[in-house]
Each structure stands twice: as structure tokens, then as C-alpha cells.
């Protein structure tokens, strides 16, 4: 005969089972993850990442169905997942294109798995949005649409199919390495980035010790200054959830420019599609991104042409867009990133190509004042991201009017290779504006004056400053067809500094070119 305690236990078990059955029946039936790999690197990575994100969203969907409220951390994770799954979904067409030339059996198996992954991504995007908006509902139609109707054989978890294929298929990771982007770099005469003319912050990490965290930065994670062969010192950013890097700069003005060089190591076809370098403009200089902010996410992965993502938000998303881009070659070849903010307008260039130009992106210029960086999706010990020569400058609007009205401008935005008169490509926006002044008024003649910092001897710097002035003159002649007789040059070396040569900031200000009407 059963005791009262036994009846109580049985009752508790029945209640638990009833609750469990209600939960499992109300949540959409789970899509099964393929059990085996295809053997095409890009496909296997795409499918694996799709289901990793799907599992994450499905888990939180289960919490919601069980009546468990989402806390702030859960919401952060879901927002992150939505960002990643959207980017991954956009890359699906490129994955299918990788199957050209692959054997028939492997191609069939890959197509099935990619389609299953796309279904998982579709569910993840819709569900994550509904969960974040508090609008998640389940009905019979949804269960029918997303239920798993394929048999396990459709996964073709059939190693027999793989073994019967005897072709020597060269997967994407075996393709010939792309040529170096900078080998065939052509100057774009329409490049219109103009750096600010009042330097606010500069760091080339020259005064930091290798292995240390840079002295002019802060973080809630980790990072270090490293020496990279002949490329000098760079700051390595480490991937991690919520890890933020803050340059210790003052609040940004309404008009300013941001520039930095980017270097990667280990980035290849196995790098995650969710790997990004994110540049934030925030309403605070803390590690908290719960306030107002905007960001641009540059994709780092190589197995697909992943889009650039931009978003801004206060309490709601105002802009959340993916922009078609293929910057894979740039990522591998030390690109220069340029950003110009003119009140609400936001523009971004990778090398000389403009990818972002949104007129109302900076929705609150009076609030969004602080620069932040973070990286996501990197595999520890393999994928590495470094930055160097971060420069923040006020201005960047239009040098043409100043030259016309004042008869003189001085800029440190024309950059040269170290110790050389070779003009760096990102400098041609300024030279282009100078050419436009000369083309508008045929009577204007200019004296171009070069200045250096104090590194090196007086004689060497005097010679270098003259050579740099001549290089700018030659660019105006050869690229923009300005008559040589309207231009003359002069070099002042280090003789007329405008700032302290003992600091990186001061040196950057002293390395300048002047244009003077004569």
C-alpha cells in the first residue's frame, strides 16, 4: 500500500511531466544539425556556425516559452547573436558559388546542408527579433513551416558518398593566394577624404614597450604592443565578449576625422564569418555600450564576401543595415581606414574606396562623442588583428575655401612613407582639393613648403622636406594636369616646429605641408 509521501512524489513527477510536455509541444520543433562534414571548407564552416547560432537562439526561445524572463545579459547575448546571424545569412549566396567544380555527390550533399543551415538562420533571425521586442508568439503554422521533415539520410551523413568520390577536388583553402593588393595600387583621382587639420590624438606606439598595454589606451580586457618584423610596433586587439578598447582622447567635436592602419595575421578561409573589427562612436567613455551609440563593422573572414554592417541606436534601432562589400584582399594587405564625421554625416573608406556615406547616421552629434574599438569572432592563437597610427583630428570639411580666402593652408594630412618622399595613397583627397582650387582660378600660383619632425640630422631633414614638397608638386602635375609653371617648392626641414618634437603627437603636427598663394 502506498504511503502519503509516495503519492506526493508521484503527483510532483506528473506535474513536472505535464509542464515539460507543454513546453516541448509549444516550442518549434528543433532542426537537426547535420552529423557529418561535406569536405568543402567554406560550406562546413558556414553550416557549423549557422547551427551554433541557431542553438543559442533556440535555447532562449525555450526560456521564453517556459516563462523565464530574459535578463540584461540574455538580451545582450541575443543582440549579439542577431548581428552575427544576419551577417552569416547574407553570405549564403557566396557559399553556394564555392561548389563550382566540386564532384556531383559532394555538391548534392553540400546543397542539402546549406539549405538546412539557411532554414536555421531564417528561424534564428525572426525569433531573435521577436524575443528582443517581446513579441514572440508560436502558432501551428510556424511549427509546420519550421518542423524537420527531412530524414537523416537527407543529411547524407553518408560517408559512402564521400568514399565513392575519387576525384581530387581542390577546395577553396587550396586556391592560389591572392596577389598583394598594394602591388597594383592605382591612385584614384576622385578619392575625396580630407583629414582634419587640428590634431586631437595620435598614437603610433613608438614610446610603448613591447609586451605592454599601450599607455594612451584603456580596456576591460587585454592587449599588447608587439613588434612585427620590419613593420614596427603595432597594438594587438584581442577578441572577447564585451571587450572594449578606448583611446584616451577628449570628447569629439562635431566635425572630425579618424584614421588608422589595420594589419591581420592568420586570417584565412577558416576564419569565422562573424569575425569583425568594430568601430564605435558612443555617448560615454566607459566599457558600457548600453547607451546611445553607432558602429561600423568591417568583416575579416575570407571564405565569403561578407558585408559591412552599420547600425545606430538609442532606445530603438534607427539604422541597421548591411552594405554590399568585398574587402577580403584589403584585409590581408594592411589597409588604411579613414572615417569622416561632419555633424550627422558619416563616411568610411577602406584604402581609397568609399563604402559608407550616410547623411543622418550620427543622429545625436551633441551626445555621441567617444571613440571605441572591439573585435569579435577571432580564434584564439590563430586569428590576429593589429592597429597602428591612430589619428583623430578636428575639421576635415573643406580646405578649398580656406586657401581661397586666407591664401594659405597648412596640413599634416599629406602622409609619406617613413624617411621617404613617397606619398601614401590616403593623402590624395587633400591634393585633389588643392587641384580644384587651381582649376577654378587659373591665375593662382602656389608655393608648396615641406616640413619634417626632428628625427634625423638637420641636413637630412632639409633634403627630405624639399623632396616631399616636390613629390606633391609632381602629383598635381601628373595626376591632376596642373601646369608646372604655376607651382614652386621649398623645404624647411625641422627648422620651424609648431609642436613638441619629443612626443608622437607633436611630431605628427610638425610633419606637414603648406600651400601658400604667391
- pLDDT single digits (tens) 320-343: 888 988 999 999 999 999 999 999
* Ranges 150-164, 393-407, 458-472: which has the least confidence: 150-164
Mean pLDDT estimate for the chain: 82
Q: How confident is the model at residue 474 (pLDDT cuts 50, 70, 90)?
A: very high
Query: In 31-178, where does DSSP find H-type helix?
Result: 41-65, 72-90, 92-97, 104-133, 140-146, 159-164
Per the model's pLDDT, the better-predicted residue between 207 and 14 turns out to be 207
Give the three-class secondary structure for 87: helix
Residues facing residue 331 across a β-bridge: none
The reported pLDDT for the residue numbered 129 is: 84
Domain covering 399-517 in this structure, CATH number: 3.30.1330.60
Q: How confident is the model at residue 190 (pLDDT cuts 50, 70, 90)?
A: low
Q: Determine how many CB atoms are found less than 10 A away from the CB of residue 381.
A: 7
Helices 41-65 and 72-90 pack at an angle, to 10 degrees, of 150
Query: In 367-457, where does DSSP find H-type helix?
Result: 399-406, 428-440
Residues 482-487, mean pLDDT to the nearest whole number: 94
309, 301 contact by CB (below 8 A): no
* Ranges 105-114, 160-169, 213-222, 279-288: which has the least confidence: 160-169
Residue-wise pLDDT tens digits, 291-322: 889 999 999 988 888 889 999 887 666 888 88
Per the model's pLDDT, the better-predicted residue between 465 and 37 turns out to be 465
Q: Report the alpha-carbon distance of residue 278 to residue 272 in Å, rounded.
A: 15
Q: How confident is the model at residue 47 (pLDDT cuts 50, 70, 90)?
A: confident
Residue-wise pLDDT tens digits, 24-45: 345 668 898 998 888 887 788 8
Q: Does the pLDDT at position 176 exceed 50?
A: no
Q: Does the pLDDT at position 256 exceed 90?
A: yes
Max Cα–Cα distance, the chain, nearest Å: 114
Question: Exposure of 273 by Cβ count < 10 A (0-12 exposed, 13-18 middle, 19+ buried)?
Answer: buried
* CA separation, residue 158 to residues 37, 104, 106, 163, 374 (Å): 10, 14, 10, 9, 41
Instruction: Give the alpha-carbon dihedral of 84, 87, 93, 95, to 10 degrees.
Output: -50
Question: In the chain, what are the domain boundaries?
Answer: 23-164, 187-394, 399-517
* Ranges 105-114, 395-404, 430-439, 473-482: which has the least confidence: 395-404
Residues 182-192, mean pLDDT to the nearest whole number: 52
The reported pLDDT for the residue numbered 185 is: 41
Q: How confident is the model at residue 98 (pLDDT cuts 50, 70, 90)?
A: low
Question: What angle is formed at CA 513 by the lines to CA 512 and CA 514, rounded to 5 degrees?
Answer: 125
pTM, two decimal places: 0.63
Domain covering 187-394 in this structure, CATH number: 2.60.120.560
Q: Report the alpha-carbon distance of residue 75 to residue 290 in Å, rounded.
A: 11
235, 388 contact by CB (below 8 A): yes
The reported pLDDT for the residue numbered 171 is: 40
DSSP string for residues in 162-184? HHH-------GGGSPPPPPGGGG
Q: Determine how many CB atoms are found less than 10 A away from the CB of residue 153.
A: 9
* CA separation, residue 129 to residues 28, 78, 80, 85 (Å): 16, 9, 11, 11
Residue with cell 581530387: 168
What values do phi and psi take at 248, rounded to 5? -80, 70
Residue with cell 564532384: 103
Q: Does the pLDDT at position 179 exceed 70?
A: no
Q: Does the pLDDT at position 1 exceed 80?
A: no
194, 354 contact by CB (below 8 A): no
Residue-wise pLDDT tens digits, 375-415: 998 988 899 999 999 999 998 656 788 888 889 999 988 98
Q: How confident is the model at residue 94 (pLDDT cuts 50, 70, 90)?
A: low
Residue-wise pLDDT tens digits, 65-80: 777 777 766 777 787 7
- When computed from its CA atoms, the radius of gyration of the chain, rounded to whole angstroms, is 28
Nearest to residue 434, comparing CAs of 413, 465, 461? 413
Q: Determine how many CB atoms are found less than 10 A away from the CB of residue 335.
A: 24
Amino acid at each position: 500500500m502506498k504511503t502519503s509521501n509516495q503519492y506526493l512524489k508521484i503527483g510532483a513527477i506528473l506535474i513536472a511531466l505535464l509542464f515539460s510536455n507543454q513546453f516541448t509541444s509549444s516550442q518549434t520543433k528543433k532542426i537537426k544539425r547535420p552529423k557529418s562534414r561535406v569536405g568543402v571548407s567554406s560550406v562546413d564552416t558556414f553550416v557549423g556556425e549557422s547551427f551554433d547560432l541557431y542553438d543559442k537562439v533556440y535555447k532562449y526561445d525555450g526560456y521564453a516559452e517556459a516563462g523565464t524572463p530574459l535578463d540584461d545579459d540574455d538580451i545582450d547575448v541575443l543582440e549579439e547573436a542577431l548581428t552575427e546571424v544576419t551577417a552569416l545569412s547574407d553570405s549564403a549566396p557566396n557559399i553556394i558559388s564555392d561548389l563550382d567544380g566540386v564532384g556531383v555527390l559532394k555538391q548534392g550533399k553540400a546543397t542539402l546542408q546549406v539549405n538546412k543551415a539557411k532554414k536555421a538562420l531564417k528561424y534564428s533571425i525572426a525569433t531573435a527579433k521577436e524575443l528582443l521586442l517581446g513579441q514572440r508568439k508560436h502558432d501551428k503554422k510556424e511549427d509546420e513551416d519550421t518542423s524537420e521533415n527531412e530524414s537523416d539520410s537527407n543529411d547524407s551523413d553518408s560517408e559512402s558518398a564521400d568514399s565513392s568520390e575519387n576525384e581530387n577536388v581542390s577546395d577553396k583553402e587550396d586556391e592560389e593566394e591572392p596577389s598583394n593588393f598594394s602591388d597594383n595600387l592605382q591612385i584614384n583621382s576622385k578619392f575625396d577624404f580630407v583629414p582634419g587639420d587640428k590634431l586631437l590624438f595620435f598614437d603610433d606606439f613608438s614610446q610603448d614597450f613591447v609586451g605592454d598595454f599601450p599607455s594612451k589606451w584603456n580596456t576591460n580586457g587585454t592587449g599588447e604592443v608587439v613588434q612585427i618584423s620590419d613593420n614596427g610596433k603595432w597594438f594587438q586587439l584581442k577578441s572577447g565578449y564585451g571587450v572594449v578598447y578606448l583611446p584616451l582622447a577628449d570628447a569629439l567635436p562635431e566635425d572630425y576625422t579618424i584614421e588608422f592602419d589595420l594589419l591581420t595575421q592568420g586570417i584565412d578561409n577558416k576564419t569565422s564569418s562573424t569575425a569583425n573589427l568594430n568601430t564605435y562612436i558612443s555617448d560615454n567613455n566607459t566599457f558600457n555600450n548600453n547607451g546611445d551609440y553607432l558602429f561600423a563593422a568591417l568583416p575579416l573572414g575570407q571564405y565569403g564576401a561578407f558585408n559591412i554592417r552599420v547600425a545606430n541606436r538609442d532606445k530603438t534601432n534607427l539604422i541597421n543595415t548591411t552594405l554590399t562589400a568585398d574587402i577580403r584582399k584589403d584585409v590581408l594587405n594592411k589597409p588604411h581606414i579613414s572615417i569622416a564625421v561632419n555633424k550627422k554625416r558619416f563616411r568610411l573608406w577602406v584604402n581609397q574606396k568609399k563604402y559608407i556615406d550616410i547623411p543622418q547616421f550620427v543622429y545625436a552629434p551633441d551626445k555621441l562623442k567617444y571613440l571605441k574599438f572591439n573585435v569579435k569572432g577571432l580564434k584564439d592563437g590563430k586569428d590576429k588583428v593589429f592597429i597602428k597610427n591612430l589619428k583623430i583630428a578636428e575639421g576635415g570639411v573643406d580646405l578649398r575655401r580656406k586657401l581661397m580666402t586666407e591664401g594659405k593652408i597648412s596640413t599634416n594630412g599629406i602622409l609619406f612613407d617613413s624617411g621617404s618622399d613617397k606619398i601614401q595613397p590616403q593623402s590624395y583627397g587633400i591634393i585633389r582639393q588643392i587641384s580644384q582650387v587651381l582649376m577654378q582660378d587659373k591665375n593662382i600660383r602656389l608655393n608648396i613648403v615641406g616640413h619634417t619632425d626632428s628625427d634625423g640630422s638637420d641636413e637630412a631633414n632639409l633634403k627630405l622636406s624639399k623632396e616631399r614638397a616636390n613629390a606633391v608638386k609632381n602629383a598635381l602635375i601628373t595626376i591632376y594636369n596642373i601646369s608646372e609653371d604655376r607651382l614652386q617648392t621649398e623645404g624647411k626641414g625641422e627648422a620651424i616646429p609648431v609642436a613638441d618634437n619629443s612626443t608622437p603627437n607633436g611630431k605628427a603636427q610638425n610633419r606637414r605641408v603648406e600651400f601658400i598663394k604667391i
